[in-house]
A and B are shown apart, each in its own frame.
Chain A
Amino acid sequence: MIEFLMSFWQTYNTLFYTVLVHGMLALSIYITLACGQLSLGNAAFMGIGAYTAALFTMKLNVPFGIALLAGGMLPALIALIIGAPTLRLSGVYLAMATLGFGEVVRVAFLNMSITGGSVGLNGVPPKTELWHLFAAMGVLIYFFLKLKNSRFGRALEAIREDEVAAAVMGIKTTWFKVWAFAIGAFIAGLAGGLNAHFTYFLSPREYGFDFAVDILTFAILGGTGTFWGPLIGSTILTILPEMLRFIGSYRLALNGLILVLVVIYLPNGIITVKKKD
Chain B
Amino acid sequence: MKLLIKITVFVAFILSLVITAQAAEIKIGIAEALTGPVAKYGVPIKNGFTLAAEEINATGGIKGNKIILIVEDEQAKKEEAINVFKKFIFQDKVLAIFGPTLSNSAFASDPFANAQKTVVFGTSNTAEGITAIGPYVFRNSVAEADILPIVTKVATKKLGLKKVAIIYGNDDSMTKSSYEIFLRAINAEKLEVVDTETFAKGDLDFSAQLTKIKSLNPDAVFCAALVEEASNVILQARKLGLSDKVKFIGGNGFNSAKLIEIAGKAAEGSISGSPWFLDDPSKKNQAFVKSYTKKYGMAPDQFAAQSYDALYIMAEGIKAIKLSGNLEKDRTALRDALAKVKNFKGVGGTFSFNESRDAEQKGRVLSIKNGKFAIFAE
Contacts and interface: CB of A to CB of B under 8 A. Distances in A.
Given A199-B79, A200-B108, A205-B104, A12 B86 contact: yes
Nearest to B105: A201
A252 interface: yes
A203 B86 contact: no
Contact of A7 (B77, B78, B90, B176): B90
Contacts of B34: 249
A15 B79 CA distance: 8
A118 B176 contact: yes
Interface string B89-112: 111000000000000100110010
B171 interface: yes
Contacts of B108: 199-201
A118 B78 contact: no
A161 interface: no
A117 B91 CA distance: 36
A102 to B, nearest CB: 14
Contacts of B73: 245, 249, 251
A14 interface: yes
A11 B80 CA distance: 12
A242 B83 contact: yes
B184 interface: no
Given A7-B91, A120-B107, A204 B177 contact: no
B35 to A, nearest CB: 5
Contacts of A61: none
Contacts of A110: 170-171
Contacts of B177: 119
A17 B82 CA distance: 12
Contact of A118 (B89, B129, B171): B171
A122 B131 CA distance: 13
B229 interface: no
Chain A binding site: helix, strand, loop or mixed by DSSP? Answer: helix
A18 interface: yes
Contacts of B342: none
A204 B171 contact: yes
Contact of B83 (A12, A119, A126): A12
Contacts of A242: 83
A14 B82 contact: yes
Contact of A14 (B72, B83, B129): B83
B79 A14 contact: yes
Contacts of A129: none
B107 A15 contact: no
Contact of A117 (B80, B90, B176): B176
Contact of B82 (A199, A245, A251): A199
A119 B127 CA distance: 8
Interface in A80-120: 110-111, 117-120
Interface string A244-261: 010001011000000000
Interface in B272-305: none
A11 B91 contact: yes
A206 B78 contact: yes
Contacts of B78: 199, 201, 206
A117 B108 CA distance: 17
Contact of B104 (A7, A13, A203, A252): A203
Interface magnitude class on chain A: 20 to 34
Contacts of A122: 107, 129
A142 B377 CA distance: 69
A68 B34 CA distance: 34
B315 to A, nearest CB: 26
Contacts of A200: 107-108, 111
B173 interface: yes
Interface string A1-21: 000000110111111001000
Contacts of A117: 170, 176
Interface string B61-78: 000000000001100011
A223 B35 CA distance: 29
B176 A119 contact: yes
A242 B81 CA distance: 11
B25 interface: no
A205 B171 CA distance: 8
Contacts of B82: 14, 199
Nearest to A17: B79
B92 to A, nearest CB: 9
Q: Interface centre among B80, B129, B177, by most A CB within 10 Å?
A: B80
Nearest to B86: A11
Contact of B173 (A10, A203, A241, A245): A203
B162 interface: no
Nearest to A204: B171
Contacts of A123: 107, 129
A14 B171 CA distance: 27
Interface string A191-220: 000000001110111100000000000000
B104 A11 contact: no
Nearest to B92: A11
A202 to B, nearest CB: 9
A18 B79 contact: yes
5 contacts: A10-B89, A119-B176, A200-B107, A200-B108, A203-B173
Interface of B: 34-35, 72-73, 77-80, 82-83, 86-87, 89-91, 104, 107-108, 111, 127-129, 170-173, 176-177
Given A7-B90, A14-B83, A118-B171, 6 more contacts: A7-B91, A18-B79, A119-B177, A120-B173, A122-B129, A203-B173
Interface of A: 7-8, 10-15, 18, 110-111, 117-120, 122-123, 126, 199-201, 203-206, 241-242, 245, 249, 251-252
Q: List the 9 shortest-distance A-B pairs measured between CB atoms, nearest first.
A: A201-B107, A10-B90, A201-B108, A11-B90, A119-B173, A118-B176, A122-B107, A11-B86, A7-B90
